[in-house]
Amino acid sequence: MSLQSSGRQQREAHGASARAEGQRQQEEEEERREVTLFREYLRIRTVHPEPDYDSAVAFLERVAIDLDLPLKKYEEHWQYDPFEAVKDAEGNIYGRGAQDMKSVGIQYVEAIRRLRDEGKRFPRTLHLLFVPDEEVGGFRGMSLFVKSPEFKALNVGFVLDEGLANPTDAYTVFYGERSCWWVTVKCTGHPGHGSRFITNTAAEKLQKIINSFLGFREKEKARLDCSACMTLGDVTTVNLTMVHGGVQYNVVPVELAASFDVRVPPTIDLQAFEQQLESWCREAGDGVTYEFAQKGMDQSVTSTSESDPWWGAFSAVCRDMNLDVKTEIFPAATDSRYLREIGLPAIGFSPMNRTPILLHDHNEFVSEAVFLRGIDVYAGILPALASVPAVPAEH
């Protein structure tokens, strides 16, 4: 096909499209208003898996205004729209990411802006990283980035990552985190009709597996509840999160499976813990196997010794600013694990005290005062860390 004929066809197609749109507009001008409104509503794609509810709500708002009718929008469990960043009369700023962790990102930015405007210069370079995929494991985010030549070129010595809010006057600092194990146990057994007492079924084995996992869960919960010195990061949590299998009501299935989210603290022998999982499977019967969707094996922690140059610089600033710091093992998982795994010291720290922990929760918020105070905190901490002399590992 020649370029000339191709261009002509494109112009003809464009002309046809314009004529079709003009015809549609003419039809809508001639048809009844009710029909036009109905057709407009139909054009809003509200089907799953990606429904455009925002456009639908905007459409209905316009209809309500046109009819001079009162309108009230309900966000399930949210006092305000989670993406409107409402600030209430008390100065609380609501929104998804208010704590986790858009607040910290902007606190970094504003602290660096302040230091730059003051003309500050440091022996070390400060790098800001905004990395995707953390909420779903970081496998295509930080996990890949730390292996890249671009990351290696940064010559990183120390890392600050996210922490958690603290409802008390204290600030929580996390020097390690639990290993995340996502495990699915598959149970196979004899199939048959649902009207019979089939022996050695997958369901009987699955029941034993669930009892073993959740029985262990209760023991760990009791350990946490009975010790005032322990935090969530010091025990192993187990949660049944998915159950799979079955064909129909009257068929005993040949296979059933259960998936568990297990978080293991760095004080636990991971090989010994996996042997415990193996024993639960053996005890459940034949044909019981397990596989991991995620199996973190690195148990590195960052030093909190005052003799450590990084911790010494961080903690000295906290003392100077009268910050009450509590050190813990992070109960969930962050990108810090990928940095500790390659030998970098990293701590999780979000300067949000006097704030309930609401990450991923309804009505997530941070107060304006706490947010602004966090900028002051980072403006003190960043210069201290950027001024740490070369450490032995860097020679």
Q: Residue 246 pLDDT > 80, yes or no?
A: yes
- From residue 19, give the alpha-carbon distance in Å to each of 219, 238, 340: 72, 62, 62
Q: What's the CA gap between 256 and 186, in Å, rounded?
A: 6
Query: Residue 278 has what pLDDT?
Result: 98
C-alpha 216/C-alpha 268 separation (Å) is 14
- Does residue 81 or residue 299 have the better pLDDT? 299
Other CB atoms within a 10 A radius of the CB of residue 52 amount to 12
Residue 11: pLDDT above 70? no
What percentage of the chain exceeds 70 in pLDDT? 92
Cα(265)–Cα(267) distance, rounded to whole angstroms?
A: 5
Which DSSP category does 53 fall into?
A: H
Residue of 88, 93, 168, 97 whose CA lies nearest to 130: 97
- Residue 1 pLDDT class (50, 70, 90 cuts): very low
With bands split at pLDDT 50, 70 and 90, how would you rate the model's confidence at 3? very low
- Which among 235, 348, 345, 350 is positioned nearest to 301, based on CA atoms? 345
Q: Which residues contact 94 (CB under 8 A, 6 or more apart)?
A: 78, 79, 80, 82, 84, 85, 86, 87, 88, 363, 364, 365
Place of tokens 């100077």: 320
Instruction: Give the other-Cβ count within 10 Å of 43's Cβ.
Output: 8
- Give the range with max mean pLDDT: 47-51, 79-83, 133-137, 259-263: 259-263
Predicted confidence (pLDDT) at residue 363 exceeds the cutoff of 90? yes
SS3 content of the chain, % helix, strand, coil (to 5): 40, 20, 40
Residue 151 has pLDDT above 50, yes or no: yes
Strand-pairing partners, residue 245, are 256
For 310, phi then psi, to 5°, come to: -70, -50
Candidates 127, 175, 169; CA nearest to 152 is 127
Amino acid, single-letter form, for residue 38: F
CATH code given to domain 179-265+267-295: 3.30.70.360
Whether the CB-CB separation of 345 and 156 falls below 8 Å is answered with no
pLDDT value at residue 47: 76
For the ranges 46-55, 76-85, 182-191, the maximum mean pLDDT occurs at 182-191
Beta pairing partners, 186: 257, 289
pLDDT at 153 over 70: yes
User: What distance in Å separates the CA atoms of residue 384 and residue 254, rounded to the nearest whole number?
Assistant: 61
Average pLDDT, the chain: 90
92-176+301-394 CATH? 1.10.150.900
Q: Does the pLDDT of residue 199 top 90, yes or no?
A: yes
Distances (CA, A) of 278 to 273, 275, 299: 9, 5, 21
Question: Would you give the end-to-end CA distance of the chain in angstroms?
Answer: 65
Length of the chain measured in residues? 395
- From CA 301, how far away is CA 126, in angstroms rounded? 22
Whether the predicted pLDDT of 29 surpasses 70? no
Q: 367, 90 in Cβ contact below 8 A?
A: yes
Bridge-based pairing state of the strands 237-245 and 255-264: antiparallel
Residue 312 has a pLDDT of: 97
Residue 380 CA, chain-centre distance (Å), reads 28
CATH 3.30.70.360 domain locations along the chain: 179-265+267-295
Share of the chain above pLDDT 90, in %: 70
What's the pLDDT at 306?
93
pLDDT tens for 250-266 read 999 999 999 999 999 99
Closest to 216 measured CA to CA, from 187, 242, 236, 243:
236
In the chain, which segments carry CATH 1.10.150.900?
Answer: 92-176+301-394
**Taking residues 308-314, what's their average pLDDT?**
97
Give the integer Cα–Cα distance in Å for 230 and 238: 17
Dihedral angle sign, alpha carbons of residues 186, 192, 198, 200: negative
DSSP string across 69-133: ------BTTBSS-TTS--B-TT-EEESTTTTTTHHHHHHHHHHHHHHHHTT---SS-------S-
pLDDT of residue 2: 32
Count of other CB atoms within 10 angstroms of residue 125: 10
Listed in sequence order, the residues at least 6 apart from 247 whose beta carbon sits closer than 8 Å to its beta carbon are: 253
Q: Across residues 126-144, what is the average pLDDT?
A: 89
